[in-house]
Structures are given as structure tokens and as C-alpha cells.
Amino acid sequence: MAKVAFLFPGQGAQKVGMGRQLYETLPTAKKLFDEAAEVLGYALADVCFNGPPERLNSTVVSQPALFLCSLAALESLRMTEPDAEKACVAAAGLSLGEYTALVFAGALSFRDGLRVVQRRGEAMQAASDATPSGMVSIIGLEQPEVEQLCAQARGDGTLQIANLLCPSNLVVSGVLPACAALEKLAEEKRARTVTPTRSAACWSARYCSRCCGNRPCATCSRRAAIAFTRSGRARSCRACSSASCARSTAAR
């Protein structure tokens, strides 16, 4: 039998109504939806099935939703094609899908994986809300050409390559005026541009780092060491346990 690899989807693949049939027909899938409600504190199934689209498309909801529905779909595959899982030799994912792959591989429990994805979505949503930003997929140009266009379009704002999807297909993220300028420049080069509309966050390391704990501790200078409470407040430094460090970092 041929070797099989599982590739799990990332944000942008969500659609109102997803998972409903699995929930209604497969007890093991329904169990995942019910367990997710316990972990998250709200009925994610209702948003998946009924929307509204603007809520499902929000980063803070769409990430747990896709994580959950991917694993529910896996339960269906286990029922209908059990040999496919037995033949699987590798698992991977596109961005968010990496966490789904980790749960499938047994590196994380479902509950722990869901909590991580929830926190990730909250941090990315906070980054998006803090700075109006967007993404542009550039198709038909190589990385050096895209970097040159970013430099031309950036102005006083931020614009940088965020994802290398495949050869001649790169995603750029930054502030909205710079994204608009980049689209015009890329089209002048006869490249194809796509502006994602079903993702609230701008995947820029510069912006996300402000909300993901990727900040240096004021006491020990360790980066990405700050522990956060569920509400998002800085609690203490994981490296030196300094509470004053966390307070100074949170005040920035």
C-alpha cells in the first residue's frame, strides 16, 4: 500500500455549516464538539453550524473551529476508511493545522491542543485589533522581486513577507495602505494578487509579537518568557519568576 500523509487545513478554510453532518451522524464527533464547549466555555458548535459568518471568520473563533472540525472529520475517516490512518506515516498542517497534526500524532491531548489554539487565536485577534492590517498573496514573482516591491510600497508603515507558500507564491502582510500599494505594484509586474477576506489577523511577526508574549523580560532580558493568565494579563516571567518584571512588561 502507498504511504499516506495527513495535511490539516489552516485559517481561511472555515465555512458556516461545517461539521454539522458529522455532529448529527457520528457520536465520536459529537463528543468532540461537546468537550470543546466545556473547554472554551461557549457552544462552538452553534457558531460552526449557524454563524453568523463574521463571527466564524474572526480569528479568535475560526482557529478553534477549524481545529475541532478537522479532528471531527478525522473521526469520520476512521469509520469509513480505517486503512488510511494505518497507512499514515506523517502529519503536517498549514499554520493552524500544525496544532491539529500534533494532536493527531499524539503529541498533545485534544483538550491541551484546543487550549493552545484558543490562546493563539486570542493573541492574533488582539494583534489584528491593535493595528488595521491585511495580507496579500503574490503569485508569479520570486522572493527577491517581492522583497523589492515591499521596500517600494512600505512607506512609513510595515510590510514584509509572512509566508512562503510555494515557489512563486508568497504572502505579504502589513498595514492596509502598504498592502494596497503593493497590490498595484505587483499587478504592474503582471503578477496575480489575491487579498484574503476570511482572516482577521495580519500574520506579521512584528505585530503578533506584541500580543503573543514575545517581549523581553525587564529583569532577566529573556524574550518570550512572560507567562500570561487566561484573561491575557502578564503574570510572571517563566525564566526568573519575577512578578515585577511581568508588571513592567504588561505596562509597555
For the stretch 138-184, pLDDT in tens is 999 999 999 999 999 999 999 999 988 889 999 999 999 999 999 99
**Number of domains comprising the chain:** 3
Q: Quote the domain boundaries for residue 243.
A: 213-250
Residue pLDDT, tens place only, 89-128:
999 998 899 999 999 999 999 999 999 999 999 998 888 7
* Cα atoms in the 13 Å half-sphere on the side-chain side of 246: 17
230, 118 Cβ separation under 8 angstroms: no
Do 201 and 218 belong to one domain? no
Q: Closest Cα to residue 198, out of 26, 70, 15?
A: 15
**Is the overall model pTM greater than 0.75, yes or no?**
no
Do 59 and 166 belong to one domain? no
Do 157 and 227 belong to one domain? no
Do 200 and 240 belong to one domain? no
Of 96, 127, 158, at which residue does a domain stop? 127
Q: Closest Cα to residue 250, out of 63, 239, 236?
A: 236
Do 118 and 229 belong to one domain? no
Report whether the peptide linkage leading into residue 216 is cis, meaning its omega lies within 30 degrees of zero: no
Do 156 and 117 belong to one domain? no
Cell 459529537, residue?
30
Do 27 and 99 belong to one domain? yes
